[in-house]
Structure 1
Amino acid sequence: MRKKIVKRKTTVIRKSKKSSSVFSGRLLQFSIGLLFVFLVFGIGYHYRDGLAYYFSFKSNHASELETEEKRISDVRNFQVLEKKEDKVIGLDVSEYQGNINWERMDSLENKYPVNFVFIRATVGSDRLDKGFKDNWLGAKKNKFIRGAYHYYRPNENSLDQANLFIKTVSLKKGDLPPVLDIEKLPKNQSLSRLKIGLKRWLKIVEEYYKVKPIIYTGEKYYEDFLKEEFGDYLFWIANYNFYREEMDADWLFWQFTEKASVPGIKGNVDVNIYNGDLQQLRYITIE
C-alpha cells in the first residue's frame, strides 16, 4: 500500500517595507533641507555686501533718515550699483513723483551721483504730464542732463501723438534725444499696424529735432516685437528681475529698479544706468 505523500506548503515571510520607506522619506527630506540651506547660504554670500549695507544702514540711520532721505529698499539695487564701475546713474520722473526738490536731488544714498534725468512730457494724443513744465525747468536749473519722453498709446493716432510731443517739448543744446515709451500691445489694431504707427512717430520726431529718437520698453517687449525691425534705433530697456545685475552690451540705458529712494523725492522713483561714462553721455546729447 502506497503511503500518501503530503506536500507541506512553504510559507514565505515577506520583510516589511515600512522601515525602509520611512528611511527613504527621511533621507529625501534631509536632502531637500540641505539643498535649501546651501541655496540660502549661496544667495546670502552673493549678496553679502548688499546685506551688510542694508542692516548697518537700517540699524544706524533709519530713524533719522526715514522721512526724506530714504534708503534703497532692495538689496539687489545696492548690488547693481556697486557693479556699475564708471557708468552713469540717472532717474526718470513724471507727475507721479509730485513736487520735486531739485536742489536736494543730487545722489542716491549720498554715495552714487545722479547725472541725468528723463522727464515725461506727453501721454497719447491729448494729455500733457502735469509735472513736466516744472520738472523740465528744475532739471535745467540744477544742471542735470535732461531728456523728455512720450508715453505712446497704441490705439491712438501716431501723427497726433508726435505733434503733441513736438508742441510741448523744446529741446536745447545739451539735452538728450527724444524718447518714445512703448509698453502696451494694441487692442483694436494688428501688431503690424502698431509698428507702422511707431515708425511714423519716430520719423516725424526725428525730422523735427534732427536727431534719432531713443526707444524705451521692457526687455520682453523688446525681444519679442522690436529688436529685429527697429534695430537701427538705440534702446532704453526696463528689467527689474532679481537675477539680473548687469546690462546687456546693446542697451543704451537700463532701468533696473522702480523702487529707489532719492533725497528731494517723496516715495519711490525709477533708477537708470547709462552704458558709458559721463563724457560718452554728453557725446550723445543734442549739439
Structure 2
Amino acid sequence: MKRKPQRKASGRPGKKSTTKISQGKILKYSALLLFIGFVIAMGYQYRHGFMYWLGFKTDKRVTALTKEERKIADLRIYEVLSRHKGKVLGIDVSHYQGKIDWETVMNDNEDFPIGFVFVRATAGKSKLDREFNNNWEGARASSYLRGAYHYYRPDENSVQQADNFIKNVVLEKGDLPPVLDIEKIPNRQSLDSLESGLKRWLAKVEKHYGVKPIIYSGESFYADFLKKEFKGYNLWIANYSVFEDEIRKEWLFWQFTDKGQLKGIESTVDVNIYNGSYSGLSRMVK
C-alpha cells in the first residue's frame, strides 16, 4: 500500500514559540524598566539626603544601629530637614538616652540646630523619669525652649497620674505647655473609660498650669481612638513612614524619626519639627 505522505509541519508552532519568547522578553524588560524608574524616583526624592550622606556628613558615629541602618536613617533625616527650612527643629528625651552632656549638645552640633526640647517627666500614677531633673535643668541651661510630658498608662487612675505630673513639674516663664503622651489602649478598661480618663487628666493639668496641654500620639492611634473626642487640642504626632516627608498643616509638632544622632547623646534620639518659625514657637510659651 502506498503510504500517504506526511504533511510538513507548518511554521505556525514556531511563530507561536517566537511570540511567547518575545512576550516574555517584553515583560522582563518592562519589569526592569519599572524597577529602574523606581530607583531613579527614589534617588530624586531623597537627593538632598544622598548629598549630605555622601559629601557633608563625615563624622558619623554608630551606636545601636548598624552602619547600613545608620546610612538609611541619615538619608531620611536630612531629606526631611531639607524640605523644612525655616521650621524649628527639636528633640525629646528621657532616661532611655542615658546621661546627656548638654554642653556638648549645645556647642558641637552646628549642622543640627536645635530650638526646643521636650523632656519626659512622669509615667503613670507614681513614676518619675530617672533623668528628668538632669534633663530639665540641662535643657534650660542650654537656652532651649523646653517642655515636659507625661506618659499616660491607660489602666491607672487618671487623677493620680495628673497629680504625679503636677507634683514633679514646675513650669516657669518661658516653658512650653505640658504634654500628654498617649500611645496604648487599656487592657482592663473600655475605650470610653480611656477617653474619660484622658479628659480628666487634661482638665486637671490645664486648671493647674493655666494653659491647654498638647496631645502626643502616633498618627494611627490618634485617628482611630482620639480624633473625634479631642478636637481643639494642639497635636504632636509621631509618624516615621518613609512616604511621609512633609509636616501636615494640622500637626503642631511632627516626630518624624526615632533615629537621630547628636554629639553629647550616646544613644539615638527622637527628632521633631515645629510647624512654624521660632518666633511662633516663642509665643506658645507660658
Using the size of structure 1 for normalisation, the TM-score is 0.89
Any residues of structure 2 matched to 1:76-225 within 5 Å, and which? Answer: 76-106=76-106, 110-225=110-225
Shift in Å at residue 57 of structure 1? 3.6
CA displacement 1:227-272 (0-9 Å, x = unmatched): 2210121110011111111111111111111101112101200011
In structure 1, the residue matched to 2:259 is: 259
Partners of 1:74 and 1:188 lie apart in 2 by 40
Runs of 4+ with >4 A deviation: 10-14
Residue 40 of structure 2 is matched in structure 1 by 41
Corresponding residue number in structure 2 for 1:7? none
Question: Which stretch of the first structure deviates more once superposed, 80-89 or 117-126?
Answer: 80-89
Find the counterpart in structure 2 of residue 4 from structure 1: none
Instruction: Supply the distance in 2 between the matched residues of 1:35 and 1:109 (Cα, whole angstroms).
Output: 40
**Deviations 1:54-92 (Å, cap 9, x if unpaired)?**
01245xx24xx5379x98843121011112121111110
CA distance in 1: counterparts of 2:138 and 2:54, whole angstroms: 34
Which deviates further from its counterpart, 88-97 or 226-235?
Answer: 226-235
The change in CA–CA distance for 1:177 and 1:80 in structure 2 (over 3 A counts) is: same
- Whose radius of gyration is greater, 1 or 2? 1
Q: CA deviation at 1:143?
A: 1.2
Instruction: Name stretches of at least 5 consecutive residues in structure 1 with no aligned partner.
Output: 1-9
Matched position secondary structure for 1:104: helix
SS at match of 2:159: helix
RMSD: 2.3
Question: 1:109 deviation in Å?
Answer: 5.1
Deviation string 1:186-242 (CA, Å, 9 cap, x unpaired) is 111111111001001001111111110000001111212212210121110011111
- C-alpha contact 2:47 2:79 (8 A) present in aligned 1: no
Paired residue for 1:15?
Answer: 13
Give the alignment of 1:219-258 within 5 angstroms. 219-258=219-258
Unaligned segments of structure 2, at least 5 residues: 1-6
1:107–1:113 CA contact under 8 A, matched in 2: no
SS in structure 1 of the partner of residue 201 of structure 2: helix
User: In 2, distance between residues paired with 1:49 and 1:177?
Assistant: 34
Change (3 A) 1:237 1:107: farther
Count of residue correspondences = 274
Is the aligned partner of 1:66 residue 2:55?
Answer: no
- The answer to whether the 8 A contact 2:90-2:114 is kept is yes
SS in 2 for 1:271: strand
SS in structure 1 at match of 2:102? coil
The question of whether the paired residues in 1 share the 8 Å contact of 2:88 and 2:278 is answered with: yes
Percent of aligned pairs with the same amino acid: 50
- CA shift at 1:15, angstroms? 2.4
Q: Which residue of 1 aligns with 2:4?
A: none
Alignment partner, residue 5 of structure 1: none
SS at match of 1:265: coil
Equivalent residue of 1:148, what SS? strand
Give me the whole-angstrom Cα distance separating, in 2, the residues matched to 1:108 and 1:101.
11
State how far apart, in whole Å, the 2-side matches of 1:247 and 1:38 are.
26
SS in 2 for 1:155: coil
Note if contact 2:98-2:267 (Cα within 8 Å) is conserved in structure 1: no
Does the Cα contact within 8 Å between 2:180 and 2:213 map onto a contact in 1?
yes
Question: What SS does structure 2 have at the residue aligned with 1:249?
Answer: coil
- Could you tell me how far apart the structure 1 residues matched to 2:97 and 2:237 are? 21
Is the 2:147–2:178 contact (alpha carbons within 8 Å) kept by the matching residues of 1? yes
* One-letter identity of the residue aligned with 1:271: V
- The letter of the residue matching 2:120 is R
